[in-house]
Chain A
């Protein structure tokens, strides 16, 4: 029998949830086809099929969906509403399946399981079960596939978290003035920690962020991301705010930013999309908090389909210059603790 082919758009929340779905579906015998990493063609497809007012990540999602359309039997677009108490996904993500359906009339088979853990029928288990039933009638097999995939998903999540040692070189350099003074510029470079915070699909999609991460790596910078910060710490950091944040995607980004501020990494870069409602608000919150940590350099990069690589390069270099100067200054003049 031919395997059912299920397409997964490599965009938006799938940066976080792809491993879960992939393992689950594969275990049940479906063939999972992940769209290619974002490229020019995908962007163009997305821009052409969506309204111009829509944020870049959603446009790109459209592009991924279209790029899959004639290769698969179904395309998976879960309706992500709520995965934790007190927080939601952004309105555009909640309405994503309907938006895609309205704009792209040629699509026939979307799989739209609901993920809303507040509701008994919206739990992860039920949501995956719904999709599993399409592939097989064997409930037992579905249950088993779910348990194993879920466990592995949790395990991998933990494995990707921050190793606290990663932060040490910088703290060391600051604390022991004598050692640090002996360091030449090159070594200082290696000790620079830059946190790149924002939604996963901005931080990890090198086409959207114009290779920002690679660029930083080439500059010998140690890169820290929101995914490295354990949820427990995110939760604790968010308590600093006057009001809890009610967007899951931004909670992680803001919590991570606050954590990295507190740990005095050398720099924090907040990646945002133009026309993103969440970013416009949390950007202001992060900015406000950053003022309490003058020793941490902070900047915000805004992306949309017109952002040019040259501009980003210039700004990145300027930012790193500032970081280095700050650091040099501290090494020379800051009192040792």
Chain B
């Protein structure tokens, strides 16, 4: 079966392990590009949120390369994401494509669909093998995220501009090819060592900014215009508050990952005074994470949101108040298909200047 999936950050490190190794043919969608965006925008309803458009672009590019099956995640609201697959399917059918869509979501009542979908993926391989490969894929994602978080500290301190991203790109290729957990451990050790070599440890007391907001936009560099890199080059250390891990764990199994549920509770608690109820998506976490970022002594927070994103508009409204109450600077960046590089850079630089100025004043006072 020729199978394709959407892109998101470096998530493709896991694709071979769960697709190719099961005996399917993986059609890797081309990296997100202007063309992906254009295709998605052309065929999506105009007012849909940006992630839907880009993922639609991925699917079209995958179908062009011969994919027969599209693999997509689902959900049950209250946010739009749970309806993405349905709308994308309608659009692709109208465009005349022939395909099957496998939607992975926790079922409502009917577990058979999920069961069937899993069996299609398993493709007659032994359950133990299937489980093992899934475990390995998950380890790859965890390692990738761990290193992604690490380079947020390395990049603003790198000895030579751009070297961090290059080293990291090599590491990603290695993770992709890794065949077992041992190999992953080896890769991790090597990467960490390399990172140490390229870090200038004399650079201390950098400006630190929390990155919060909608899941997809915050984790997909093409869509957020490489925000983390930009900030890194401005000498800013980014603290990323979203992760695939935190997104998947509560869905997959509430019992296996107790520790993470604790994190979630803590974020909820922090938000409670301002937003007392979950509003779907990352709305409440955005608010909670900004409050926590303030407690952790960060300099400010940047919220990234797709235009018309419902939960994040709730959060944005509330962040105005949070920021005022706590005297904690926040910047909201709204992305759509027209977002231009220059305007974005100007706003980011102005915000960082503001944070630096506050630091200087703070130092003088104390």
Contact = CB atoms under 8 A, between A and B. Distances in A.
Interface string B25-62: 00000000000000000000111110000000000000
Interface stretch (B79-87, B144-152, B199-207, B234-242): B79-87
Contacts of A90: 78, 310
A114 B278 CA distance: 13
A281 B83 contact: yes
B276 A98 contact: yes
Interface in A236-275: 241-247, 274-275
Contacts of A51: 313, 316-317, 320
B334 A285 contact: no
Given A79-B277, A94-B280, A243-B83, A50 B317 contact: yes
Interface stretch (A81-89, A168-176, A193-201, A327-335): A81-89
B77, B78, B274, B334 interface centre (most CB from chain A within 10 Å) = B78
Nearest to B88: A284
B44 to A, nearest CB: 8
Contact of A103 (B82, B281, B308, B317): B317
A89 B321 CA distance: 24
A315 B313 CA distance: 31
A91 B86 contact: no
Interface string B309-322: 11101101110111
Contacts of A29: none
A105 B86 CA distance: 41
B90 A246 contact: no
Given A98-B274, A102-B317, A246-B82, A288 B90 contact: yes
A241 B82 CA distance: 14
A279 interface: yes
B225 interface: no
Nearest to B89: A242
A283 interface: yes
A37 interface: no
A92 B79 CA distance: 10
Contacts of A101: 321
B90 A285 contact: yes
B255 interface: no
A54 B277 contact: no
B131 to A, nearest CB: 28
Contacts of B275: 95, 98
B361 interface: no
Q: Which of A54, A86, A92, A275 has the most CB of B within 10 A?
A: A92
Contacts of B276: 79, 97-98
A280 B47 contact: yes
A102 B277 contact: no
Contacts of B278: 94
Interface in B304-340: 307-311, 313-314, 316-318, 320-322, 334
23 contacts: A53-B313, A53-B334, A81-B277, A91-B78, A91-B279, A91-B280, A91-B281, A91-B283, A92-B310, A94-B78, A94-B277, A98-B274, A98-B314, A103-B320, A103-B321, A243-B85, A246-B76, A274-B47, A277-B80, A278-B80, A281-B87, A284-B91, A285-B86
Interface of B: 45-49, 74, 76-80, 82-83, 85-87, 89-91, 94, 108, 274-281, 283, 307-311, 313-314, 316-318, 320-322, 334
In the complex, the 4 A-B pairs of residues with the closest C-beta atoms, listed nearest first: A246-B77, A95-B314, A102-B321, A88-B78
